[in-house]
Amino acid sequence: MRVLGIETSCDETGIAIYDSQAGILADALYSQVELHAEYGGVVPELASRDHVRKVIPLIKEVMSRAGCQPGDLDAVVYTAGPGLVGALLVGAAVAKSLAYAWGVPSFPVHHMEGHLLAPMLEDPAPTAPFVALLVSGGHTMLVSVKAIGDYEILGESLDDAAGEAFDKTAKMLGLGYPGGPRLAARAEQGNPQRFRFPRPMTDRPGLDFSFSGLKTFCLNTRDECERSPTGLSEQDVSDICWAFQDAVVETLAIKCRRALQHTGVKQLVVAGGVSANLHLRARLQEVAAKLRAQVFYPQLKYCTDNGAMIAFAGYQRLLAGAKTDLAVRARARWPLSELNGQDQADSSRVDQDSRPA
Ligand code: KG4
Ligand code: ZN
């Protein structure tokens, strides 16, 4: 079976074709980073317009690189949420139109399920049951995956997502957009002995997260440095970056250890944009080794938003017998837990929330 996947939930247009025998046949990604950089963050209306410009040329490119004709496809799937509604609608409308014209079914895919299943595109792949740490710009959650489509949220962020905290802290330190990778790069030059930031919510039981206080801690430290006789130096910024990254990574590591102990499973899947962070990868490796558990990541290009994870998650829905209809679905907010035991395409709930959030 072959599935064309379309991702347009935020600032990346991602297209891919997944083949159930050969894996990803071709994929393409267009990042809007430069477009949004001068505004210091994603401008939703600009994002939608840029998706309109790019989505069809990228589909043509991927179809041609995969050597695929429309008749070779079994489904067209698209990210239906969570995300920016205007951006989601571009992918959804294109997917539905192509599927209708080509006479194949089309399904909505949950963006976070895409991230969650992305490590399954690798070899070796994790097999359920496993625990997943999803760390992206919009979400931070620990999920117990009993089977594909059977998800129990063990904990999540009560305020900022980890990636969001990286982005906001980077902005506050004048590092620009996109913040996460820039902050991580600056942390490399930081002095580990200089500052120690708190590990939020690790001194009490439970698997929830909170990162907004850490951001304020950075702000106060920056202001203190600014008030010093020498002002805020380049080294101060690097040192704050190191302490911030270390605090986020250590907090995530402590909660992952707890989640593995709590569930007793021996496989940890880490996905979403922040899973590209090398410091996080190294730390989780240590945690897992101590528990004789294995850690699985997507390859770097599939950590951040991409079409491959959507094509693969859509293929799983196809296997699960999802039915198609003509509704164009886009949902700004969409809890992952609503997927449980549900045929997404049949779900009337997907449409209820389709107005802009
Ligand atoms: O999964 P993703 O591409 O988009 C969402 O679904 O949100 O994640 C993007 C997030 C951004 O917040 C970005 O700053 C963060 O992932 N990110 C990183 C790194 N690379 C991307 N954060 C820390 N270290 C990195 N190396
Ligand atoms: Zn994402």
Statement to judge: residues 309 and 275 lie in one domain: no
Task: State if residue 163 touches ligand 1 by the CB under 6 angstroms criterion.
Answer: yes
Q: What does the pLDDT read at residue 178?
A: 85
> 8 in ligand 1 pocket by Cβ < 6 Å?
no
pLDDT bucket at 72, cuts 50 / 70 / 90 = very high
Instruction: Say yes or no: 196 and 231 in one domain.
Output: yes
- Report which ligand 1 atom has the smallest distance to the Cα of 164: 12
Quickly state the pLDDT bin for 135 (edges 50, 70, 90).
Answer: very high
39 and 105 housed in the same domain: yes
Are 134 and 192 within one domain? yes
**161 CA to middle of ligand 2, Å?**
12
Ligand closest to Cα of 274 equals 1
Q: Are residues 182 and 58 in the same domain?
A: no
The reply to whether 50 and 102 lie within a common domain is yes
How far apart are the C-alpha atoms of 224 and 166, rounded to whole Å? 20
**Predicted confidence (pLDDT) at residue 347 exceeds the cutoff of 80:** no
* CATH number of the domain residue 292 falls in: 3.30.420.40
What is the C-alpha to C-alpha distance for residues 311 and 29, in angstroms, rounded to an integer? Answer: 13
User: Quick one: 162 and 66 in the same domain?
Assistant: no
Residues 318, 288 share a domain: no
Give the atom of ligand 1 at the shortest distance from the alpha carbon of 276.
26
pLDDT exceeds 70 at position 336 = yes
Is ligand 1 within 6 A of the CB of residue 274? yes
Mean pLDDT of the chain: 94
Same domain for 105 and 194: no
Residue from 243, 238, 255 nearest 202 by CA? 255
| Number of domains present in the structure of the chain | 2
Residue nearest ligand 1's atom 20 by CA: 181
Task: Indicate whether 341 pLDDT > 90.
Answer: no
Q: State yes or no: cis peptide before 298, omega within 30 of 0.
A: no
Q: What is the pLDDT of residues 117-128, one digit of tens each?
A: 999 999 999 999
Residues 281 and 326 in one domain: no
Predicted local confidence at residue 342, as pLDDT = 63
The whole-model pTM stands at 0.93
222 and 86, same domain (yes or no): no
| Alpha-carbon dihedral 15, 19, 20, 21, rounded to 10 degrees | -150
**177 close to ligand 1 (CB < 6 Angstrom):** no
pLDDT at 195 over 70: yes
Task: Give residue 111's domain range.
Answer: 2-116+303-354
Task: Out of 122-131, 168-177, 318-327, pick the least confident.
Answer: 318-327
Q: Is the CB of 113 under 6 A from ligand 1?
A: no
Give residue 343's pLDDT band: very low, low, confident or very high (50, 70, 90).
low
Q: What would the pLDDT profile of 252-299 be if each residue is shown by its tens digit? A: 999 999 999 999 999 999 999 999 999 999 999 999 999 999 999 999
Domain boundary among 260, 281, 297: 297
Rounded average pLDDT over 234-253: 98
Do 198 and 91 share a structural domain? no
- Nearest-atom number in ligand 1 for the CA of 112 is 6
**Residue-level pLDDT at 346:** 44
Ligand 1 neighbourhood includes 137 CB (under 6 angstroms)? yes
